[in-house]
Structure formats: structure tokens, C-alpha cells
Amino acid sequence: MKREKVFEAQNVEIKFNLRGKTLTAVRGASIDLYQGETLAIVGESGCGKSVFAKSFLGVLDKNGWVSGGHMLLDGVDIAQYKTEKEWLKIRGKKIAMVFQDPMTSLNPVKTIGEQIREVIAWHFGTDKEASKQQAIELLYQVGIDNAEARYKQYPHEFSGGMRQRVVIATAIACRPKILICDEPTTALDVTVQAQILQLIKKLQQDLNMSVIYITHDLGVVASVADRVAVMYAGQIVEYGLVNEIFKDARHPYTEALLLSLPQLAVKGSDLQSIKGSPPNLYKEIKGDAFAPRNPDAMKIDYEIEPPFFKVTDTHYAKTWLLHEQARGYVKELSKKQEERVKATPEVDSGSSEKGVLVSLRNVTVDFKLGRKKFSAVKDVTFDIYRGETFSLVGESGSGKTTIGKAIMKICHTSGGDIFYKGKNINKKLSGAELTRFRRQVQMIFQDPMASLNERAKVDYIISEGLYNFRLFTDEQERKRKVAEAMRSVGLSNEHATRFPHEFSGGQRQRIGIARSVVVEPEFIIADEPVSALDVSIRAQVINLLNQLKKDKGLTYLFIAHDLSVVRFISDRIAVMYKGRIVELAGSEELFAHPLHPYTIALLQAAPIPDPDIEREKRVIAYDPSVHDYVTDKPFWAEVAPGHFVWANSHEMAMYEERLAKLK
């Protein structure tokens, strides 16, 4: 299968001027792109993948420039382009780009039809009527129904997924040969993500485009890519066909990245995590950039930068492990790896005592939106047992965070009762009662960048609870407690005198966890604690949460949208849809026997980092109109022990039958 090469980047080097210093964001990266194929560039944030792709279009930020290398498109070196005029010859026409956040790439004060029409008219000089017709066709092509009517609507009238469809329509308006998708689905929910990925696949075939995906999500890569390039610290470290990367990774970074995925891990054991964070690109990097984070690095990795070694004709990796002199060391490593696999972890089967710690009864939360009232949480009832990890899963806007906040007493409720240790807390508590409650229940936040006070030292941030609850007798005891909390999250004590901005995202999240655990709570609400973190760092934080649970006997309410993490960490899972819990079951039970159609759609849509499984998969979209609730009213009931579902009596009978058949 010899295909024509449509684009080639050779040894591209990109520099940025930032606050008086120069940093090298891309350090000699090369890729080839063939006709009609999909290439995925994978890497963690800050590895330069976005910058690399942006340079193909000449849309780097003002303080950045391409300082070396070539980019060949149709035999022309576009790296030499200087003026906007030159770039306009290829931008949109030959190479087009889809960005992460659809809202920022659309003009909010123009109708979406007009925005697409303009692109067509501007590039081809077609007249108004003809270009409008084309724009409507494009809208149909990207799967927007009733395009004539929607042509006249504004971006805010579209949902996130629909907006991304519009952005894709503008990108393909000029029939580009290459479509670059920069994290096109990161801002979207899993079910919508699956649809968008399918759409891009379909368009690629219809228009015979080559697609470059830039993503950090290995699940997405497995489902879409033909070839994969793994990027680290501004360099491509390994590239090959998708199966070669997923089944036979050679670079220690690629291996570590795959191993840190919760999908592949054994529950109850620690995730394989990569220590530390990606290197600072201000400094000159010597040798293999990944070496400091690789516990199995060789001496040579610190000395000389490895060249690319060939694994197969299509698979190359930039690591000394493939050198002939490293054979002995590789053998030694694989022996160790085998031992590690053999030593299967003892799976402790959760807690033995099953006392109820938190229980919600018919909790409802209404919000007023202008004059309209809308319920973020509808009539929710569940129990959380002592010592378990209870997860709430759902799309954005399903009300899962609102429930967390309501339990935390930082959000009003419109009805229902919340019991903590048997006492109703969903009312005004006296000062002393509230103090006791606050000490026992803590929260971990999603965004580590926003959840720490930038103007206070880490020492103060962690001590905040100690001051408030007067948990120390003298200064020395306070210092000791802070040091202990920092050690428990894997930070050294000397970090206490620093300000939060000196830490990376993963470290900041750990500081946030230390702030919560220092007051020795019993119950922690973790609101998407890992969704803002990179894959490798995510594993660090998940391990830490599990460790703390074991050491301190904590109970978690874990709020998340990422099913793989949820499955790995939780004992029981509740699935939420539009403010209502539609299904609740033990974690393995839910994954094995999902009943509610929404749960099934959600499980189906979650990408799995295995190209073979992912290729076979068909996406099922959940359509709420399958339920006929007009006469037969739905209710909340237990279909099997511990397995609850929201259904009417007809559906309930169906579910019971299905469960009986499966078991």
C-alpha cells in the first residue's frame, strides 16, 4: 500500500520569547503525512504538540517563530513563508484546522450560516446565493438537520457538539487536503465525542482528506488513527502504525503512558504512574528528555541524545534501549517486568463494616434562570456507606457537581433531606455543629490552577484548616502537622515556603489534597479531581487518593465523567442524566450488566485504548424518547440486589428478564 506523501515536516524547531527568556517548544520534530491517512500526534500538555501543528498553518502566537527545519507541501517549503499573504494561499484551502473550544472559533454575533457563507465567498469569490446554497449543503454534510432553519441561528443557540460540527463545516468549506484537529473533542462529553469522531472519519473518506489529530487521549487515538507519533518535550520520540504503538511500544515514555491508563490496570492495585512532570523547556535538555522520570534509565540516557532506531519499516523509536549494546540491559528489564506481573496484588474486598455514612433522600435543587425555573437535581435518593468510594457519573450539566455542593452545604437545596451520620444537615446548623461538620467533610476541586490561593505560601494554604479548627497547641505542632500532610502527598517539606505558582498542575492538586486531609476528615467529596490533569499525572493522583483511603479510612464521593477512572477507583457507581440518577449499581455489576439505555450509551461511547476493539465498535446515541412515560410512570426500584434503575413497570419487567438471561 504505497501512498502519496502529501506533507512532510523535517526537523522543525520552534522558539518562543516569554518574559525576556527564550524557550524551545519544538526541538527538531519530523512527521510525514500520506494521502487519505489519519496521523495522531499524542503527548501531554506542554510537550509542544499544539505548537507544532499550529506552525503548519502559520498561526503561532506572536512571540513564537519557526527557527529551523522545513515543511514541504506540494514541493514548496512553507517554513520559509513570512507574510500573511503567502500563508493565505494555503490556509483553509490546503490545510485547515479545527480547534478545541468551538465557542472561541465562532463569532458570537453572526449567524452560523453567514460565517460559513463568508468563508466560501471569500475563498472562491462565489456570489451570495450560490455560496449560501453551498453553506446549507455543508451543514447537512456535517450532520445538522434542518439546515435551512439553523442557517439563521447564532452560535449560542447550538449545543457544544453542534457547534463543533459547525466549526468542522467551516474548516472543510474550501475542500482542504489536510485537516488538523487540535483536541477536537476534549471540551465535549463522551457520547458527543464519539459522534464527532465518527463524523470526521466519514468526512475524511468522502473528501479524501488526510487528518492530523492532536490529542492527549489514547482512547481517541486508538479509535481514529492509522499512524501515531508520540511527542515528548518538543520531540517525536516514537512513531509507527497504531497497532505497533499500542501493542509493541518501545520507548519507555510510550510504555509508561499506556501503563498509566486505568483501563488496563487491575483494580485494587496501584496504577503505574510516571513520577514528576514534563521538563522545563527553558533549560537545555541533555540526552533523553524522559530520562529523569524513568526509573529504568541507563547512564547513556543522561549523556547523549538517542537517534531513531528502526523496529519495523513503519515503526521507529528514539531510545537507546534499541541499541545493540543495550540487549543485556533489556533482558534484565523484561525479567523484572515479568516478576512484577507475577506478584499479583492482594485484592481487598472493600470494607467489612457497612454502616451508612451519608444518605440523601429526595434531594431536589432548583435554579432560576431568568424567569424560568429549572431543576439541576431532581428527587435524588442514595446512600454512601462508610469506607467506600461512591461515584457519580454523568455528562456536564447532569447535576453531579450540584449534588456534591449540596452535601458540602455550599449550595442551596429546594427539598429533601441529607443525613450525615444519621443527622439531618440540610437545614441551618448552629455554629458548633457546622464547625464539626466542616471538619469531617472536605472537598477536593477539579482545577488545581484555580483552587489554590496564588498569593499565599503553601504553608498557610495547608494550615488554613488547622487555624480554623484550632488543631494545634503551639507553632511547632502546627509545623509538624503541615510537614506530615505534605509528606503524605509526596511533597518535601521545603516546598512549604513556596508559592503555588512554582508548582506544576499535579503538584498543585496534591497540595489541594493535603489541605483537605490535614484536618483529618472522614468523608471527602472529590469533584473531578483528575480531569484537568495529564494522563501520567492522573495516575499519581489516583494512587494517592487510594492510598489515603486505605491509610486513613476515608470515604469518598467521587464525581467524574471519565468512566475508566471511575471503574478503577469506585466500589459503587451512580449514573446521572439531566439531574436524575438513572442507574445505580456496584462498579463491576454496572459495567457487566448495564440496563438503562443511557448507561449503555455512555459505556459504549467511552473510548478504549485498544485499536482492535475500538475499530469494531458502533456508537449508540441515547435518545430519551425511547421511554414512553405518558401513562406508565417511571419509578426508582431495585431490579437485583444492590442494582437500582429508574424505569416504569414495563421496562422494569424487561430489565429483570434481561438480567435473568445474562446470569
For other proteins, give the closer residue by CB, 344 or 468.
Answer: 468
Q: Which run of H or of E encompasses 29?
A: strand 21-34
* Binder of other proteins out of 445, 568, 598, 622 (CB under 8 A): 445
Minimum Å distance from CB 578 to other proteins? 24
For other proteins, give the closer residue by CB, 192 or 326.
Answer: 326
Amino acid letter for position 408: M
Residue with cell 504505497: 2
Burial class of 45 by CB neighbour count within 10 A (0 to 12, 13 to 18, 19+):
middle
Cell of 427: 437545614
Question: What is the separation of C-alpha 270 from the centre of its chain, rounded to a whole number of angstroms?
Answer: 20
Q: Which run of H or of E encompasses 227?
A: strand 227-232
Q: Is 455 in the site for other proteins (CB under 8 A)?
A: yes
Cell of 85: 499573504
Q: Is 300 in the site for other proteins (CB under 8 A)?
A: yes
Minimum Å distance from CB 519 to other proteins? 7
| Alpha-carbon radius of gyration of the chain | 27
Region binding other proteins by CB under 8 A among candidate stretches 234-242, 318-326, 342-350, 555-563: 318-326
* Binder of other proteins out of 140, 374, 460, 635 (CB under 8 A): 460
Q: Is 519 in the site for other proteins (CB under 8 A)?
A: yes
For other proteins, give the closer residue by CB, 149 or 304.
Answer: 304
Q: Site mask, other proteins, residues 589-628, x = CB under 8 A?
A: ----------------------------------------
* Binder of other proteins out of 465, 579, 597, 611 (CB under 8 A): 465
Give the end-to-end CA distance of the chain in Å, rounded to a whole number.
Answer: 46
Region binding other proteins by CB under 8 A among candidate stretches 13-21, 128-136, 209-217, 359-367: 13-21
Amino acid letter for position 109: V
Q: Where are the alpha helices (DSSP H) in 470-623?
A: 475-488, 505-517, 535-552, 563-569, 587-592, 597-605, 611-616
For other proteins, give the closer residue by CB, 46 or 597.
Answer: 46
Q: Site mask, other proteins, residues 31-70, x = CB under 8 A?
A: ---------------x----------------x-------
Phi, psi (rounded to 5 degrees) for 638: -95, 115
Q: Which run of H or of E encompasses 197?
A: helix 190-207
Distance, in Å, from the CA atom of 559 to the CA atom of 565, rounded to the nearest integer, reads 10
For other proteins, give the closer residue by CB, 163 or 250.
Answer: 250
Minimum Å distance from CB 577 to other proteins? 26
Q: Which of residues 387-406 bind other proteins (CB under 8 A)?
A: none
User: Half-sphere exposure of 191 toward its Cβ, with a 13 Å CA cutoff?
Assistant: 16
Minimum Å distance from CB 392 to other proteins? 18
Distances (CA, A) of 542 to 43, 562, 603: 20, 13, 21
Q: Is 435 in the site for other proteins (CB under 8 A)?
A: yes
Instruction: Name the maximum alpha-carbon separation found in the chain.
Output: 80
For other proteins, give the closer residue by CB, 95 or 486.
Answer: 486
Q: Is 469 in the site for other proteins (CB under 8 A)?
A: yes
Residue with cell 484551502: 93
Q: Which run of H or of E encompasses 211?
A: strand 210-215
For other proteins, give the closer residue by CB, 163 or 561.
Answer: 561
Distance, in Å, from the CA atom of 360 to the CA atom of 426, rounded to the nearest integer, reads 10
Q: Is 454 in the site for other proteins (CB under 8 A)?
A: yes
Phi, psi (rounded to 5 degrees) for 246: -80, -30
Minimum Å distance from CB 40 to other proteins? 24
Distance, in Å, from the CA atom of 28 to the CA atom of 307, rounded to the nearest integer, reads 12
Q: Is 464 in the site for other proteins (CB under 8 A)?
A: yes
For other proteins, give the closer residue by CB, 301 or 571.
Answer: 301
Minimum Å distance from CB 315 to other proteins? 19
Strand, helix or coil for residue 404: helix
Q: Is 18 in the site for other proteins (CB under 8 A)?
A: yes
Question: What is the separation of C-alpha 640 from the centre of its chain, rounded to a whole number of angstroms?
Answer: 33
Q: Residue 584's CB: how many other CB atoms inside 10 A? A: 26
| Cα dihedral across residues 181, 186, 187, 191: positive or negative | positive
* Binder of other proteins out of 76, 266, 304, 621 (CB under 8 A): 304
* Binder of other proteins out of 5, 89, 156, 299 (CB under 8 A): 299
Q: Is 302 in the site for other proteins (CB under 8 A)?
A: yes
Q: Is 634 in the site for other proteins (CB under 8 A)?
A: no
Distance, in Å, from the CA atom of 412 to the CA atom of 406, rounded to the nearest integer, reads 6
Distance, in Å, from the CA atom of 323 to the CA atom of 318, rounded to the nearest integer, reads 10
Minimum Å distance from CB 284 to other proteins? 12
Strand, helix or coil for residue 439: helix
Q: Which of residues 226-285 bind other proteins (CB under 8 A)?
A: 275-280, 282
For other proteins, give the closer residue by CB, 266 or 450.
Answer: 450
For other proteins, give the closer residue by CB, 352 or 492.
Answer: 492
Minimum Å distance from CB 331 to other proteins? 12
Q: Beta partners for 391?
A: 558, 573
Minimum Å distance from CB 496 to other proteins? 14
Q: Is 298 in the site for other proteins (CB under 8 A)?
A: yes
Q: Beta partners for 345?
A: none
User: Half-sphere exposure of 470 toward its Cβ, with a 13 Å CA cutoff?
Assistant: 2
Cell of 363: 434531594
Distances (CA, A) of 558 to 16, 389, 418, 526, 636: 39, 7, 17, 5, 22
For other proteins, give the closer residue by CB, 11 or 208.
Answer: 11
Cβ pair 178, 33 in contact under 8 A: yes
For other proteins, give the closer residue by CB, 466 or 542.
Answer: 466
For other proteins, give the closer residue by CB, 510 or 567.
Answer: 510
* Binder of other proteins out of 408, 418, 482, 489 (CB under 8 A): 408
- Interface size with other proteins, residues (CB under 8 A): 69
Region binding other proteins by CB under 8 A among candidate stretches 5-13, 152-160, 161-169, 449-457: 449-457
Cβ pair 371, 383 in contact under 8 A: no
Q: Is 20 in the site for other proteins (CB under 8 A)?
A: yes
Region binding other proteins by CB under 8 A among candidate stretches 30-38, 215-223, 286-294, 542-550: 286-294
For other proteins, give the closer residue by CB, 36 or 292.
Answer: 292
Q: Site mask, other proteins, residues 480-509, x = CB under 8 A?
A: -----------xx------x-xxxx--x--
**Which positions lie near other proteins, rule CB under 8 A?**
18-20, 46, 63, 275-280, 282, 291-304, 307, 320, 323-326, 328-329, 408, 410, 434-435, 438-439, 442-443, 445-447, 450-456, 460, 464-465, 467-469, 491-492, 499, 501-504, 507, 512, 515, 519
